[in-house]
Amino acid sequence: MTFLTDTLSNIKKFLVESGGEISSADHIEEMAFTPERPDLRESTTVHEGGMIQDLKIARSETEDLSIRWFTDGIQKTFLIGTFDFGRNPVTVHYSIIASLIIGFRNGSFEMWGQPRIQEFALISKDLLGSSLPKGFLDTGEKTGYFGDQRYAAVMRARKERHKLEASHLYDWAEKTNYKEKILVDGSLSHLPKPIPCAVGLCKDNHPLFFTPETQRNILSLGYSERSALFSYTTPQKDEITSWFLRIRQPRAHSANFGLIRPEVYEGMPLDPGSVDEVSRLIFSLRNPVAYPSPKWERLVYPLKICTDFLTNHLPKVETIKWFLHGAIVT
């Protein structure tokens, strides 16, 4: 069942009544725009000898679900219309965001509560030149460039998704008294305050932590090897400890094949033994394989379940096209 409410109808009505033009909405904007990679080299400190090195972990071939909770969030943003004020078109976007937490109990996965879903419209208040209608959020974009407006819409949707995910995660942590580990798809750096029981799993688009020479050492990690620990400071001034871990055989594949980056807050035990334990827990989740999902070799199966569930409940491109035009636009 696809989630869709009156929000999209209200946006369409606003466009028509205000002299705007409805777009074809023929793709998801997130497919075209990737967040910029922050440069964290000045705030990164390497531990365990002061250099990135490869350290073998005692890998477990048996299933170990000591991490029994998993969470992910997704977003879909569509360009659905424009206004022409005699200069570059002013874009109007529709975005829908969602967060899901699942747990493993009695041999199967089940949801914790219900998925949390929000939808809204996005436009630049400055470029619109008037107050925003109900249900609209300001992208903050000021240049007027078409591509910049689209990028700003994706980034504002991303900010709202992070807020939704954080609220969901804090509610879960309070209900479980912060006593159980939860694996979070992505970085912990966007959380407003630390959650010591959370373990982040970053698959790509890593910030710049090191020089190219050091990065070469990371890319040479073998199967079941991890790098030395390093820590960095978040925008909220929290300290996060991270490391790289290879969970797939890299033979005959790209250098980053199966290479992930776990994260924990400094509130967790940071001795090498504790880090190896977390690494083993993540390593044990690599099967069953999440193929053919994108980045399957860096994905653990419970997070694939989260992503698939949310993807199937949020509208697809074809649904948005039909809603706007009454027929599929090609």
% of residues, the chain, pLDDT over 70 = 90
Per-residue pLDDT of 121-159, as tens digits, reads 999 999 988 888 888 999 999 999 999 999 999 999 999
Q: Are 223 and 244 in contact (CB under 8 A)?
A: no
Residue 33 Cα to chain centre, angstroms: 13
- Angle, to 10 degrees, between the axis of helix 7-17 and the axis of helix 317-325? 50
Residue 256 forms part of a structural domain: yes
The one-letter code for the residue type at 229 is L
> What does pLDDT average to over the chain?
87
Q: CA end-to-end span of the chain, whole Å?
A: 24
The pLDDT value recorded for residue 88 is 78
Secondary structure letter of residue 229 according to DSSP: P
List CB contacts of 44: < 8 A, sequence separation 6 or more. 209, 210, 230, 231, 232
Structure tokens at 71: 């969470």
The pLDDT value recorded for residue 56 is 63
Cα 252 to Cα 223, 234, 287, 294: the distances in Å are 13, 36, 20, 18
* 77, pLDDT greater than 80: yes
Mean pLDDT of 161-189: 95
Residue 2 forms part of a structural domain: no
Residue 1 forms part of a structural domain: no
Residue 146 forms part of a structural domain: yes
Q: Which domain holds residue 175?
A: 7-325
Tell if the pTM clears 0.85, that is, is over it.
yes
Residue 330 forms part of a structural domain: no
Per-residue pLDDT of 229-251, as tens digits, reads 899 998 888 899 999 999 998 87
- State how many domains the chain has: 1
pLDDT band at 262 (very low <50, low <70, confident <90, very high): very high
Q: What are the helix (H) ranges across the chain?
A: 7-17, 125-128, 146-175, 212-219, 272-284, 301-313, 317-325
User: Dihedral of the CA atoms 273, 303, 227, 210 (nearest 10)?
Assistant: -130
User: Dihedral of the CA atoms 115, 174, 265, 309 (nearest 10)?
Assistant: -10
Per-residue pLDDT of 40-57, as tens digits, reads 988 888 887 655 665 666
* 326, pLDDT greater than 60: yes
* 59, pLDDT greater than 60: no
Distance between CA atoms of 155 and 33, rounded to whole angstroms? 9
Structure tokens at 113: 């509560």
Side-chain half-sphere of 177: how many Cα atoms within 13 Å? 1
Residue 23 forms part of a structural domain: yes
Mean pLDDT of 172-194: 93
Q: Are 161 and 30 in contact (CB under 8 A)?
A: no
